[in-house]
Amino acid sequence: MKDNKDILDQGPFFHGTKAALNIGEFLEPDYRSNFQNKKSNYIYFTATLEAAKWGAELALSDHKERIYIVEPTGEFENDPNLTDKRFPGNPTRSYRSRFPLKIVAELGSWERHTEEQINHMLSSLEELAKQGKNIIYD
Protein backbone atom coordinates (compact mmCIF):
# COMPACT_ATOMS: atom_id res chain seq x y z
CA MET A 1 0.00 0.00 0.00
CA LYS A 2 1.06 3.57 -0.66
CA ASP A 3 2.75 5.34 2.27
CA ASN A 4 0.14 7.17 4.28
CA LYS A 5 0.68 8.64 7.76
CA ASP A 6 -3.05 8.54 8.45
CA ILE A 7 -3.69 4.87 7.66
CA LEU A 8 -7.28 4.09 8.55
CA ASP A 9 -6.80 0.38 9.10
CA GLN A 10 -3.95 -2.12 8.86
CA GLY A 11 -6.18 -4.95 7.62
CA PRO A 12 -6.13 -7.71 6.54
CA PHE A 13 -8.74 -6.66 4.00
CA PHE A 14 -11.46 -8.70 2.31
CA HIS A 15 -13.73 -8.36 -0.70
CA GLY A 16 -16.85 -10.51 -0.94
CA THR A 17 -18.19 -11.15 -4.43
CA LYS A 18 -19.37 -13.77 -6.87
CA ALA A 19 -16.79 -12.88 -9.50
CA ALA A 20 -14.26 -15.62 -10.32
CA LEU A 21 -10.80 -14.03 -10.25
CA ASN A 22 -7.23 -15.21 -9.83
CA ILE A 23 -4.54 -14.42 -7.31
CA GLY A 24 -2.48 -11.51 -8.63
CA GLU A 25 -5.40 -9.95 -10.51
CA PHE A 26 -6.87 -6.61 -9.54
CA LEU A 27 -10.34 -5.55 -8.51
CA GLU A 28 -10.87 -2.11 -9.99
CA PRO A 29 -13.40 0.70 -9.84
CA ASP A 30 -15.51 1.58 -12.88
CA TYR A 31 -17.07 -1.89 -13.14
CA ARG A 32 -20.62 -3.02 -12.40
CA SER A 33 -21.45 -2.89 -8.70
CA ASN A 34 -22.07 -6.13 -6.78
CA PHE A 35 -25.35 -4.71 -5.52
CA GLN A 36 -26.81 -2.44 -8.18
CA ASN A 37 -26.88 -2.80 -11.93
CA LYS A 38 -24.68 0.23 -12.56
CA LYS A 39 -21.03 1.11 -12.86
CA SER A 40 -19.34 1.97 -9.57
CA ASN A 41 -16.79 4.76 -9.22
CA TYR A 42 -15.11 2.96 -6.31
CA ILE A 43 -14.04 -0.52 -5.28
CA TYR A 44 -15.38 -1.46 -1.85
CA PHE A 45 -13.73 -3.67 0.77
CA THR A 46 -13.72 -4.41 4.47
CA ALA A 47 -11.45 -5.48 7.29
CA THR A 48 -14.09 -7.78 8.81
CA LEU A 49 -14.97 -11.24 7.62
CA GLU A 50 -18.60 -10.64 8.63
CA ALA A 51 -19.01 -7.74 6.19
CA ALA A 52 -17.18 -9.66 3.44
CA LYS A 53 -19.58 -12.58 3.88
CA TRP A 54 -22.54 -10.25 3.32
CA GLY A 55 -20.81 -8.88 0.21
CA ALA A 56 -20.45 -12.37 -1.25
CA GLU A 57 -23.91 -13.56 -0.23
CA LEU A 58 -25.81 -10.51 -1.47
CA ALA A 59 -23.94 -9.93 -4.73
CA LEU A 60 -26.22 -9.88 -7.79
CA SER A 61 -25.18 -13.09 -9.52
CA ASP A 62 -25.86 -16.81 -9.53
CA HIS A 63 -22.15 -17.66 -9.46
CA LYS A 64 -20.22 -19.11 -6.54
CA GLU A 65 -19.75 -16.88 -3.50
CA ARG A 66 -16.12 -15.92 -2.94
CA ILE A 67 -14.12 -13.94 -0.43
CA TYR A 68 -10.78 -12.60 -1.54
CA ILE A 69 -8.01 -11.27 0.67
CA VAL A 70 -6.95 -8.02 -0.96
CA GLU A 71 -4.32 -5.31 -0.65
CA PRO A 72 -5.14 -1.69 -1.46
CA THR A 73 -2.74 -0.18 -4.01
CA GLY A 74 -3.48 3.42 -3.06
CA GLU A 75 -5.36 5.64 -0.68
CA PHE A 76 -8.77 4.66 0.63
CA GLU A 77 -11.50 6.17 2.76
CA ASN A 78 -14.30 5.11 5.07
CA ASP A 79 -17.34 3.93 3.10
CA PRO A 80 -19.79 6.82 3.60
CA ASN A 81 -22.75 4.58 2.73
CA LEU A 82 -22.22 2.75 6.01
CA THR A 83 -20.19 4.99 8.28
CA ASP A 84 -22.17 8.19 7.87
CA LYS A 85 -25.60 6.72 7.30
CA ARG A 86 -25.97 3.48 9.24
CA PHE A 87 -23.04 2.70 11.53
CA PRO A 88 -21.30 5.78 12.97
CA GLY A 89 -17.69 5.07 13.88
CA ASN A 90 -17.27 2.41 11.15
CA PRO A 91 -17.66 -0.77 13.26
CA THR A 92 -17.91 -2.76 9.99
CA ARG A 93 -14.47 -1.42 9.03
CA SER A 94 -15.80 -0.79 5.52
CA TYR A 95 -13.79 1.22 3.01
CA ARG A 96 -13.69 2.30 -0.61
CA SER A 97 -10.97 3.36 -3.02
CA ARG A 98 -10.53 4.74 -6.50
CA PHE A 99 -7.35 2.64 -6.71
CA PRO A 100 -7.32 -1.09 -7.54
CA LEU A 101 -7.20 -3.84 -4.93
CA LYS A 102 -4.70 -6.63 -5.56
CA ILE A 103 -6.02 -10.14 -4.89
CA VAL A 104 -3.46 -11.92 -2.72
CA ALA A 105 -5.52 -14.99 -1.69
CA GLU A 106 -8.98 -16.51 -1.66
CA LEU A 107 -10.51 -17.89 1.51
CA GLY A 108 -10.97 -21.59 0.89
CA SER A 109 -13.85 -21.99 3.30
CA TRP A 110 -15.98 -19.82 5.52
CA GLU A 111 -19.30 -20.18 7.28
CA ARG A 112 -22.23 -18.62 5.44
CA HIS A 113 -25.03 -16.83 7.18
CA THR A 114 -28.13 -19.01 7.52
CA GLU A 115 -30.72 -18.89 4.76
CA GLU A 116 -33.07 -17.28 7.28
CA GLN A 117 -30.54 -14.48 7.97
CA ILE A 118 -29.89 -13.95 4.26
CA ASN A 119 -33.61 -13.85 3.45
CA HIS A 120 -34.20 -11.39 6.29
CA MET A 121 -31.43 -9.12 4.95
CA LEU A 122 -32.83 -9.36 1.41
CA SER A 123 -36.30 -8.43 2.73
CA SER A 124 -34.84 -5.48 4.61
CA LEU A 125 -33.02 -4.29 1.49
CA GLU A 126 -36.20 -4.71 -0.56
CA GLU A 127 -38.08 -2.57 1.97
CA LEU A 128 -35.40 0.13 1.72
CA ALA A 129 -35.79 0.08 -2.07
CA LYS A 130 -39.58 0.51 -1.76
CA GLN A 131 -38.98 3.51 0.50
CA GLY A 132 -36.42 4.97 -1.93
CA LYS A 133 -33.68 4.63 0.69
CA ASN A 134 -31.43 2.16 -1.16
CA ILE A 135 -29.18 4.93 -2.44
CA ILE A 136 -25.45 4.23 -2.73
CA TYR A 137 -23.38 7.40 -2.60
CA ASP A 138 -20.76 6.61 -5.19
Residue-wise burial string across 111-137, b where 16 or more C-beta atoms lie within 10 A, e elsewhere: eebeeeeeeeeeeeeeeeeeeeeeeee
Is 25 part of any domain? yes
- Kindly report the pTM of this predicted structure: 0.80
Is 136 part of any domain? no
Which domain covers residue 105, as residue numbers? 13-130
Is 7 part of any domain? no
16 DSSP 8-state letter: E
pLDDT of 32:
59
Q: What does residue 45 show for φ and ψ, rounded to 5 degrees?
A: -155, 175
Is 6 part of any domain? no
Is 5 part of any domain? no
Tell me the average confidence (pLDDT) per consecutive run of 10 residues in the chain, 138 residues long.
Answer: 59 93 91 60 92 89 92 91 63 89 95 92 80 65
Percentages helix, strand, coil for the chain (3-state, rounded to 5) are 20, 25, 55
Is 87 part of any domain? yes
pLDDT of 1:
42
Q: How many domains does the chain have?
A: 1
